[in-house]
Amino acid sequence: MKKKFIILLSTGLLAFYSCQKDKLTPPLTTSVSYQDFAPFQSAARIQAQVLGLYATVRSGTSFGGRLVVYGDIKGENWMNNSANGITGYNTWRNSNNSVDTETVGLWRQLYLSINDCNLFVDGMASTGAAVIGNPATSNALVAEARFLRAINYYALLMMYCQPYSVNSGASPGVPLRLVGNSSAGAYDLAPATVAQVFNQIVADLTYAQANLTLIYYTTGTTLDGASNVSRATQNAATALLTRVYLAMGQYDKVVTEANKIVSAAAPFTASTGVPYALQAAYGNIYKTPYTTTESIFSVPFTSAETPGTQNQLATYFNGVGAAEYFLNVTSPLYLDASWKATDARRVLIKTVTTGSGATAVTKYYSNKYATGSPYTDWSPVMRYAEVLLNLAEARSNLFGPTDPQAIALLNAVRKRSDATTTIATATIDNILQERNIEFLGEGQRWNDLWRLKKDIPAKGTAVAALASSSASWVWPVSADEQVYNKLIGR
């Protein structure tokens, strides 16, 4: 169900909602009343509210499209076709400013989603928990909100802040807003440190892990594939914790969390909850119904609910529509001789030739998002392959590149797509290259460069390499925030 009402305040920073308009007097344009917590006065309305939280996450401005795009094109694997400032051109050429489409739009959308989550948590504490009656059910609903709040805060850190690896997170982070705003007011709030935001993310995901639904069923023992992929579950929270702890360099905690959903030996699977496992056929991950055992959390779309104009992943990476980006054939990824032509992931590269004869131009794209208009490809947020590689990297850091399990995990991912290759050691470089191949077009490249504080490699001769010490290595804070929050400080 959709939320009943959403108003974006003139600050462009926060969104608030209401069940209905006052029947007698129009509401103030700068205020949306809780109406005595009316959205939380029946179990049905509460369920509608929690499902509505996923709507802002599904936005093509963030997890439904643009965030994935930005996470890939900040790296070195793509070349730009259009020089369109609306479709990530500044991100691609490392020249973002505080007023461009990317920095303002993503900041606004992530905080909109965070505020929705905060309002839901507040409403459950005030009224909703008593209405639901069953504490376990109530806590599970709150856990969904906290799971979504966590992924939004992680995205803010990744795009706008220095990584945790810089002075253990002492750098300025983002404003840590944990109480919902339902009316216009003073929004001055100094940013928390990166470490403080990370700690809140961990707290939210730990709460989610303890309280979320273990698994969704349609009837009896029949798995509800759509819900298990598009809604938060206990195992999804555990998987996200492996990403967060890896970004914090807390490798022992990565191992502890991953071991909850990864068996000790191949074939690696989750033995409880949603039964995660690698898909035998790599291409199946990106086909309808998008609910394989490898898909941990994805943003769903249908012909009735699409990402929106200039947000669709296919138009950025597949060579259809505007065909915004094409593969950089001079990148170390593309030129990697160990990435064989018969690798299922290389097979997914799509060739497009325009013109003929001497004027023919050939470009290469990813066929992961292949449906075309009306662009119903689901947007991947996390897959089981990432958990395996997170665990491999953590073990390599803790026990060295010859650790048998780290090697087995790395080869499980490689051999699923290329049975003819065996990787001898789980060096960090080998793992990072495997991640680069595996998650091409899924927004993970920048996450890896960011968390490890690595320079952004050159994009052929078009864009020079950018040192991690550069002021433009991460995005500036949104100009909206700088105007309306006098304490932002940067």
With contact defined as beta carbons under 8 Å apart, do 392 and 427 qualify? no
Beta strands in 180-275 (DSSP E): 217-219, 222-223
With contact defined as beta carbons under 8 Å apart, do 3 and 49 qualify? yes
17 within a domain of the structure (yes/no) = yes
How much is the pLDDT for 97?
96
With contact defined as beta carbons under 8 Å apart, do 88 and 73 qualify? yes
* Span of 8-17, 51-60, 144-153 with lowest mean pLDDT: 8-17
In 319-469, which residue ranges form alpha helices assigned H by DSSP?
Answer: 332-335, 344-347, 384-399, 404-417, 428-438, 445-451
pLDDT tier for residue 185 given thresholds of 50, 70 and 90: confident
Number of domains the chain is built from: 1
How much is the pLDDT for 187?
86
> Which residue range forms the structural domain that includes residue 337?
6-484
pLDDT tier for residue 28 given thresholds of 50, 70 and 90: very low
Interval 306-341: pLDDT, tens: 999 999 999 999 999 999 999 999 999 999 999 999
pLDDT tier for residue 183 given thresholds of 50, 70 and 90: confident
With contact defined as beta carbons under 8 Å apart, do 466 and 455 qualify? yes
pLDDT at 34 over 70: no
489 within a domain of the structure (yes/no) = no
pLDDT at 26 over 60: no
pLDDT at 12 over 70: no
Closest alpha carbon to 141 in 253, 52, 238:
52
Closest alpha carbon to 379 in 46, 59, 34, 27:
59
Interval 327-381: pLDDT, tens: 999 999 999 999 999 999 999 999 999 888 889 999 999 999 999 899 999 999 9
Beta pairing class for 349-354 and 361-366: antiparallel
The CB-side HSE value for 56 (13 A sphere, CA atoms) comes to 31
Question: Counting Cβ atoms within 10 Å, is residue 355 exposed (0-12), middle (13-18) or buried (19+)?
Answer: exposed
pLDDT at 14 over 70: no
pLDDT at 432 over 60: yes
Question: Residue 327, by phi and psi: left (phi above 0), alpha (psi -120 to 50) or beta?
Answer: beta
490 within a domain of the structure (yes/no) = no
29 within a domain of the structure (yes/no) = yes
d(CA 13, CA 480): 7
With contact defined as beta carbons under 8 Å apart, do 162 and 454 qualify? no
d(CA 35, CA 115): 17
Instruction: Give the predicted TM-score (pTM) of the model.
Output: 0.92
pLDDT tier for residue 35 given thresholds of 50, 70 and 90: low
1 within a domain of the structure (yes/no) = no
Interval 15-25: pLDDT, tens: 333 344 444 44
pLDDT tier for residue 39 given thresholds of 50, 70 and 90: confident
- Phi/psi at 327 (5° precision): -65, 140
Q: How many Cβ atoms sit within 10 Å of the Cβ of residue 393? A: 27
Q: Measure the CA dihedral 438/443/444/449, to 10°.
A: 130
Angle made by CA atoms 341, 343, 344, in degrees to the nearest 5 = 120
What residues form DSSP beta bridges with 219?
A: 222
CATH number at residue 362: 1.25.40.390
d(CA 61, CA 379): 12
How much is the pLDDT for 58?
95
Q: Give the pLDDT mean for 429-446.
A: 98
Percent of the chain scored above 90 by pLDDT?
88
Q: Which two tokens stand for residue 295?
A: 């898909």
Interval 98-144: pLDDT, tens: 999 999 999 999 999 999 999 999 999 999 999 999 999 999 999 99
301 within a domain of the structure (yes/no) = yes
Please tell me the chain's helix, strand, coil percentages from 3-state DSSP, rounded to the nearest 5: 45, 10, 45
pLDDT at 287 over 50: yes
Q: Measure the CA dihedral 228/234/240/245, to 10°.
A: -170
More confident residue, 204 or 489: 204
pLDDT tier for residue 29 given thresholds of 50, 70 and 90: very low
Q: Give the pLDDT mean for 176-202.
A: 92
Kindly report the average pLDDT of the chain as a whole number: 92
How much is the pLDDT for 421?
97
